[in-house]
């Protein structure tokens, strides 16, 4: 059974940083791309970042480009999202999700999410 | 960026009735279209991928159709557990984009 467990969320001041982690189990970690999707309070889903199974390629939404960085550690079966220069509009639940193939595809499994609140 | 437009925003349906949800892409996405269900306070769950392939464990009352720019999710006979938010998502082009969602509520 695929399990994705996010951690690292919390309250941070504008301009601050956080690193989210997503511990994965139940599948061959390096064989699948991973991503982060966020949901602001009362709003819809917004894709944030993605990384291929090997970690050789990443992509980020324009809204976070230059501030967020996705990475993965195959020795720990963990995906990370380093978030810098946080803004109030980054406040959201951040979901880690597994993609259906090594470098593309839909999201076939989701974690329960971790809440990030950016406020002074 | 491909814009995904879902309609209606809210659909009021009685239990046992059929629900038809629409999703339109601003440009063609071939069959690279997924549908997700989200209940209050929960993570999204994959229902349909490749426009029409049900995910593991998804009941047969859920079906998807369409290609290119027009897609439909049909729930043939609504059960109490089906009242939720539904999102479509294209994964044909970067950036990946979601529709704004359709809320299926009890009539």
B100 Cβ under 8 Å from any chain A Cβ: yes
How far apart are the CA of A60 and the nearest CA of chain B, in angstroms? 8
State the average pLDDT over residues B34-46. 97
State the average pLDDT over residues A43-60. 96
Coil, strand, or helix at residue B10? Answer: strand
Structure confidence at residue B57 (pLDDT) = 96
List Cα–Cα distances, A62 to A42, A65, A67, in angstroms.
21, 5, 10
Cα separation, B72 vs B63, whole angstroms? 8
Find the farthest-apart pair of alpha carbons in chain B and give their distance in angstroms, rounded.
Answer: 38
- Pairing of the two strands A58-60 and A68-73: unpaired
Contacts of B99 in chain A (CB under 8 A): 44
Q: What chain A residue is nearest to B93 in terms of C-alpha separation?
A: A104
Of B91, B99, B101, the CB nearest to A106: B91
Look at B49 and A108 and tell me if their CB atoms are within 8 Å: yes
Q: For residue A60, which phi and psi values (nearest 5 degrees)?
A: -135, 150
Contacts of A68 in chain B (CB under 8 A): none
- Residue B54: Cβ-neighbour burial (10 angstroms; 0-12, 13-18, 19+): middle
pLDDT above 90 (res A104)? no
Tens of pLDDT along A15-43? 999 999 999 999 999 999 999 999 999 99
Structure confidence at residue A103 (pLDDT) = 86
Q: What chain B residue is nearest to A1 in terms of C-alpha separation?
A: B56
pLDDT above 90 (res A74)? yes
Structure confidence at residue A39 (pLDDT) = 98
Contacts of B71 in chain A (CB under 8 A): none
pLDDT band of residue B55 (cuts 50, 70, 90) is very high
State the average pLDDT over residues A84-105. 95
Task: Note whether A40 and B89 are within 8 A (CB).
Answer: no
Structure confidence at residue A117 (pLDDT) = 98
CB atoms within 10 A of CB A57: 11
Tens of pLDDT along B72-100? 999 999 999 999 999 999 999 999 999 99
State the average pLDDT over residues A53-81. 97
A9, A42, A106, A112: best to mutate for the B interface, most B CBs within 10 A: A106
Q: What is the CA radius of gyration of chain B?
A: 13
């Amino acid at each position: 059974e695929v399990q994705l467990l996010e951690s690292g969320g919390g309250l941070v001041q504008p301009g601050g940083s956080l690193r989210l982690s997503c511990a994965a189990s139940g599948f061959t970690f390096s064989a699948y791309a991973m991503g982060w999707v966020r949901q602001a309070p009362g709003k819809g889903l917004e894709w944030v970042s993605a990384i291929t199974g090997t970690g050789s390629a990443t992509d980020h939404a324009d809204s976070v480009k230059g501030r967020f960085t996705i990475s993965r550690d195959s020795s720990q079966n963990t995906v990370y999202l380093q978030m810098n220069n946080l803004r109030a509009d980054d406040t959201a639940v951040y979901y880690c999700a597994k993609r259906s193939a090594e470098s593309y595809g839909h999201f076939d499994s989701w974690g329960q999410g971790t809440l990030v609140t950016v406020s002074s | 960026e491909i814009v995904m437009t879902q309609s209606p925003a809210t659909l009021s349906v009685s239990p046992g009735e059929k629900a038809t949800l629409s999703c339109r892409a601003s440009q063609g996405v071939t069959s690279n279209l997924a549908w997700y269900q989200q209940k209050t306070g929960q993570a999204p769950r994959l229902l349909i991928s490749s426009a029409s392939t049900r995910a593991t464990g998804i009941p047969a009352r859920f079906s998807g159709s369409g290609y290119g720019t027009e897609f439909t999710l049909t729930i043939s006979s609504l059960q109490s557990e089906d009242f939720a938010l539904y999102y479509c998502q294209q994964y044909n082009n970067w950036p990946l984009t979601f529709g704004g969602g359709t809320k299926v509520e009890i009539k």
